[in-house]
Amino acid sequence: MALSSLLRLKPLFKYRHFCSISNSSTTLDYKQKIQNALSLLKTQNPNNSSLTKQTLNLCHAATEVHEHDMILHKTMTKITGSEDTTSFEPIADFLHELKNEPPMLSLFIEELKGLPDLRDEDFYCYSITLFGHAKMMDRAIEAFQEMEKTGIKRSTKSFNALLRAGNFARKYVEVSKIFDEYPEKYGIKPDLDTYNIVIESFVDSSKPESVFKIFEEMDKNGVQPDEITLNTSLNGFNRQQKYDEAEKVLKIFEKFGPQLGLHIYNSKIRKLCDMGKTMEAKEVFENISSRGMKLNRYTYQCLLFAYYKDENVNETRRFFNEMYENGFEPDFIYSTYKKIIQFLCQGGDFETAAKLCKCGLSKDYNFNGVTLKPLFEGLESIGKLDLARELAKDMEAEQPYVRSYFGKAI
């Protein structure tokens, strides 16, 4: 069973491998759940007498499974040495519950502190991150501050974990305060990851002026930004429709940042198309194309869809054909394929519609008579019935319209 399906079915099997436990939130219940989970983890990893760092990776991965299902699946596979991870279902349930049960999470972290192979900075980084996901920022800060008492030296790594926890908890004011005060207080030097995390916080908290101050500080401290820096700020501003700030980011990076990657231009083209500025998006396309930059399917696809919405048959044809000739196929959903095929047929471009239909068939889209009738009739009208027959061969034999149309012709 795929992990995403497994997690959707979670209520059906919740804690079926654990002892019968009531729904009360008593400390005893929490401790019992924790002990059952730890015992099961040890059972699944019999070569180790206690939880290993790999198992802690599982804890961390589980907190982000809503975004990265495969992270949890791969971690489970690594621990067990098997692709069959069904025995981890209750563990996944347990780890997911931790985020919603702060008292149990605190007890769980305390239990882990007693394991000898987890007494290092990595353990505290994961603990801090878990607290952030559980919206327990005060506990994340406490964990960071207590490191010195346990003989574990703090570094930029644990500092970044604390900032990241603040983002997870959406405590953006706290993130700003920690970033301003902790480097001097604890003798920590911010690195590129630090700045990227803080930029994400400022973008999400709608503080564009603070983002640009971070750029200035990076430049002053000789920290070279990367594409994560650019993506975080650019995509954040675009998502909030702060297009002037996004444009300012691009100009800044053209002066001192890394060379803009294709995906950044794709993002700009996409946003211009979304704003209805198709001609400006086309200018960006022509600019990067003339410089010899290697384009991908999304570069073409944004403009293809934009010109379809503008009801421009010629430009829709142009961008699809260029895309097709360069070995790319659109990554549209079924309804979009259907609408563009019908649009091209209405515009009399049956051959381009046939190529687009073929691309859709390669994705196992099963077009019905509403889409196929104007296409097949149009192909027949221009003497290209052979193209219709070729498409028919790629369709399911039971497709009603194909049978009725080619009953006499195929």
Largest distance between two CA atoms of the chain: 86
| Across 341-370, average pLDDT | 91
Task: Provide the whole-model pTM.
Answer: 0.57
Which of 2-11, 19-28, 34-43, 390-399 comes out lowest in average pLDDT?
2-11
Cβ burial 148-186 (10 Å sphere, 16+ → b, else e): eeeebebbeebbbbbbbbbbbbebbebbbebbeebeeee
Query: For the chain, which residues make up each domain, given as ranges?
Result: 1-118, 332-410
- pLDDT at residue 201, as a whole number: 94
- pLDDT at residue 25, as a whole number: 43
| Rounded Cα gap, residues 306 and 312, in angstroms | 9
End-to-end CA distance of the chain: 42
For residue 229, pLDDT beyond 70: yes
CATH code of the domain occupying 332-410? 1.25.40
- pLDDT at residue 16, as a whole number: 32
- pLDDT at residue 241, as a whole number: 80
pLDDT tier at 152, thresholds 50, 70, 90:
confident
| Rounded Cα gap, residues 3 and 68, in angstroms | 10
Considering 35-49, 76-90, 207-221, the range whose residues carry the highest mean pLDDT is 207-221
Which of 61-70, 120-129, 247-256, 259-268 comes out lowest in average pLDDT?
61-70
- pLDDT at residue 301, as a whole number: 92
| Across 79-91, average pLDDT | 52
- Pick the more confident residue, 395 or 125: 125
pLDDT tier at 399, thresholds 50, 70, 90:
low
For residue 175, pLDDT beyond 70: yes
Tokens encoding 135: 């919206």
Which of 156-160, 186-190, 200-204, 233-237 comes out lowest in average pLDDT?
233-237
Q: What are the tens digits of pLDDT across the range 318-347?
A: 999 999 999 999 988 888 999 999 999 999
For residue 85, pLDDT beyond 70: no
Considering 119-128, 198-207, 287-296, 398-407, the range whose residues carry the highest mean pLDDT is 198-207
For residue 374, pLDDT beyond 50: yes
Q: What are the tens digits of pLDDT across the range 275-333?
A: 899 999 999 999 888 888 888 888 999 999 999 999 999 999 999 999 999 999 998 88
Tokens encoding 101: 């049960």
